Copies of this chain bind each other. A is one copy, B any other.
C-alpha cells in the first residue's frame, strides 16, 4: 500500500483524501539555508486552484498553505518541510447515496478491489485535489534549480490544435494556459458549451524545459525520460507521455530523425544533453459527465488546471536528478 513517495534524494510524500481533514506533503531532502517566499508558493497553488475561470469547476477552494516544519526565519532548515492545506469546502450533503456508486473511469471500483474499503464521500486519494500537494513540492524543487525554466501549455483540446508553438517561455499563456489568443478563445467557447451540456474534453499538454544542466539521468532504469514518464503517468487522467512528438516521430526514417537534434527532446541515452527538453502528455476527458457534470462542481476539462501540476512534477524530477548528479561533481572536476 506504500506508494506515496516520489524521488530519491529530493523526496516528496503526499497525503490526504479529498474529503478528509487536510491534504499535504512532506518534502525530505531539501538543502538548508534557502530563502523561501510564501507568496510565490500561494501563487503557484492559485494557478492550480479551482474556480479561477468560467471553464473550471465552480467549486472555490482557498487552498491556504500552512507550513508545519522545516522552515525557520523564512529559510529552509534541511529538515523535512511539511505543508498542509485544510479541506474547507466539503458540502454537507447526504454522502450515503454515494457509498455504492462506482463511477466508470474513476478509482471507485478499483479502490474497493484493492483496499476493500474507501472514503466514499469523494475521490479520496484519486481526486485531482491530491495534486495540490505536488504543486507545493514543485515549488520547493524549483528553488533547487532556479535557473532552469519550465513552461507547460495546452497544445490540443479535443480536436482543437495549436498551429504554431510559442517561440519562447516569455509568451503569455492567456486565461487557460493556451498561448495562442485565437485558439484560446475557441477552446473557452467550446468548454463553456461542454459545461452546459454535461460533456467533457481531453487534450495534450506540451512541456518545454530550458537551461537544463547536462548529464542528468541515471542509466539504465532511472533515465531522465523514464522518471519523467513515471512522474507524468502518476497524474490522474494522464494516459500518455512522449519525448518530443514521440508517436509521430516513429514515422520518420532514421536519416531524418537524426538530422535534427530537436527530435531527441533534450535527452540522448536518457541523459540530458543541455538542449531544450520537450515532453508531451495526453490527458483523457474527465469521466464525470451528464447530469452530475451539469451541477458544475466538476471541470469539463482538466487541462487548464493541470499545467502547474505538470511543471511541478517536472521540477521534482529535475531537482532530484540534479542532486543525484551533484553528489559526484567532486569526482569529475
Give CA–CA (A26, B3) in the complex, Å: 12
Please state if A254 and B32 are interface contacts (CB–CB under 8 Å): no
Interface string of A56-86 (1 = CB under 8 A from B): 0000000000111111100111111110100
Query: A149 contacts which chain B residues (CB < 8 A)?
Result: none
Interface string of A1-31 (1 = CB under 8 A from B): 1111111111101111100111110101111
Query: A265 contacts which chain B residues (CB < 8 A)?
Result: 239
Q: Is the C-beta of A326 less than 8 angstroms from some C-beta in chain B?
A: yes
Please state if A21 and B287 are interface contacts (CB–CB under 8 Å): no
Q: Is the C-beta of A271 less than 8 angstroms from some C-beta in chain B?
A: yes
Query: A250 contacts which chain B residues (CB < 8 A)?
Result: 156, 158, 202-204, 239-240, 282-285
Please state if B327 and A219 are interface contacts (CB–CB under 8 Å): no
Give CA–CA (A78, B124) in the complex, Å: 11
Give CA–CA (A126, B79) in the complex, Å: 10
Instruction: From A111-119, A166-174, A181-189, give the one contacting chain B.
Output: A111-119
Query: A77 contacts which chain B residues (CB < 8 A)?
Result: 17, 115, 117-119, 124
Interface string of A240-280 (1 = CB under 8 A from B): 11111011011111110110010111011111111000001
Q: Is the C-beta of A227 less than 8 angstroms from some C-beta in chain B?
A: yes
Query: A156 contacts which chain B residues (CB < 8 A)?
Result: 250-251
Q: Is the C-beta of A162 less than 8 angstroms from some C-beta in chain B?
A: no
Pairs across A and B, CB under 8 Å, 5 listed: A1-B324, A115-B332, A203-B250, A239-B265, A324-B327
